[in-house]
Structure 1
């Protein structure tokens, strides 16, 4: 099956982003590592995000060699692994979240855990848990044939990344391979909250739109409401991770709820 043929499959994350667009705002996409500080807290924090304005929720599978994660997320994933997190627990977490809220739930994962379980088996279990799809930071479309087949079979979204260094040809290939949205990395390097939005951000989003992406969302470095408003002027969604992980570690679920409400503007009435 060709990549483009799969666009007939309904996309949960696309629907969530389009609902936000219909309300005249960028979608808020929030991230937490699975199993931090424990499985139930991950579920409760994700539901609190949904209740306070998050449209799409990313749950990251802890990984022993995270090439893209900054120190805050690395510390959280290390803690989850030390407490015994297992990859199979991701399906319990996704099911626990989707049973309690309507947000689209995406799993972010390096590709090795998916391959170890089996791409089709992982996809089947994710779909059964109510998951929307996968964000795969270290998988490129050229090497994703098995994932294309499984995501089409089980109706899952697939999100690949573009960056300031991506060539026009690479951006086009990535856009055509994605279903749901394109993840636009705004800075080179690892994740982490920053005081200012990277100057390269708009260029990455514009390149994705010019290549035909109906939904281009920005991640890496977003931490404040003004970032959301600034990026939302040209992007379809804004992705926040490190700031929320820090909030969960420091203040638990109430802190996550409060920060999500601030980022979404719900705390302003």
Structure 2
């Protein structure tokens, strides 16, 4: 059982839902990334997701794209990111997973990437550009190491393909709420509940919903249908303000924001 599995099992026993916050590594600095992870863990995040900046982001909206660009402009490398994560994970009360392009994994070599990630205390990965048809080798490597491979399913994924993706997923399933890019939205499609209900009939894995979730109202709408929510752009936007505000104030604001989402999930 992986650290991600254990985190969701603990929630199940408490009859609670998961909050999976996303931060971009190195935006505005690796120091702030580490502080944000510590704060989000302290506030009660179930799993923290760290985005590894990439020059060709997949499905990321303008807020996260801009954060990746800022981080890349500082020449931040994977080793520095994993070193920073490794400084935090020993005391973090929740597991960390990376959102990473398979191009980066391939460049380093899948086994070397897994060696580096696990040495840093990383418990899993979300790899949005890894096609299920080409994933067998990496799926097996991850299973051998008890490293969660969290796969994405979208509203346009056929049921036949979704079943195949579910078979290769571990940890939890990332359900994309909208056919589009990440970003804060004022409302979410009503078909989400129906689609997630079908997915839950096909797997015992937890289903977490991401893309466009930024308000407690969104969480209220979705919490009965899913096992958790993933929130990215709203957190990344707050963290980028550390360039113009005191770091402690920004971290506090991110923590307070997480509290509002957790209250909506489990209050």
Q: Same fold (TM over 0.5)?
A: yes
Which ranges in structure 1 are unaligned for 5 or more consecutive residues? 1-9
From 137, 143, 146, give the equivalent of 1:146.
Answer: 137
From 77, 90, 93, give the equivalent of 1:99.
Answer: 90
| Structure 2 match to 1:77 | 68
Deviation at 1:154, TM superposition (A): 2.1
Query: Are residues 133 and 215 of structure 1, via their aligned partners in 2, closer, same or farther at CA, if it must alter by over 3 Å?
Result: same
Instruction: Output the CA distance in 2 between the equivalents of 1:90 and 1:203.
Output: 38
| Structure 1 match to 2:112 | 121
Q: Mean alpha-carbon deviation: is it higher for 158-167 or for 18-27?
A: 18-27
Equivalent residue runs for 1:146-165 within 5 Å: 146-165=137-156
| Structure 2 match to 1:227 | 218
1:59-97 Cα offsets, whole Å, 9 max, x none, are: 010010113100001111110000111122232132122
- What SS does structure 2 have at the residue aligned with 1:84? coil
| Structure 2 match to 1:257 | 255
1:185-226 Cα offsets, whole Å, 9 max, x none, are: 010111001112222321331232122243111000110122
Equivalent residue runs for 1:181-220 within 5 Å: 181-220=172-211
1:160-208 Cα offsets, whole Å, 9 max, x none, are: 1111111111111111100101110010111001112222321331232
Query: Are residues 93 and 261 of structure 1, via their aligned partners in 2, closer, same or farther at CA, if it must alter by over 3 Å?
Result: same
Deviation at 1:228, TM superposition (A): 1.8
1:9-61 Cα offsets, whole Å, 9 max, x none, are: x1221221222232222110110111111111101101101111211100010
| Structure 2 match to 1:247 | 238
Is residue 34 from structure 1 mapped to residue 32 from structure 2 by the alignment?
Answer: no
Q: Mean alpha-carbon deviation: is it higher for 211-220 or for 90-99?
A: 90-99
- What SS does structure 2 have at the residue aligned with 1:85? coil
Deviation at 1:264, TM superposition (A): 1.0
Instruction: Output the CA distance in 1 between the equivalents of 2:191 and 2:238.
Output: 27
Which ranges in structure 2 are unaligned for 5 or more consecutive residues? 243-249
- What SS does structure 2 have at the residue aligned with 1:122? helix
Contact map agreement 1:181 1:215 (CA 8 A) in 2: yes
| Structure 2 match to 1:5 | none
Query: Are residues 233 and 165 of structure 1, via their aligned partners in 2, closer, same or farther at CA, if it must alter by over 3 Å?
Result: same
Instruction: Output the CA distance in 2 between the equivalents of 1:98 and 1:141.
Output: 29
CA RMSD of aligned residues (A): 1.7
Contact map agreement 1:37 1:79 (CA 8 A) in 2: yes
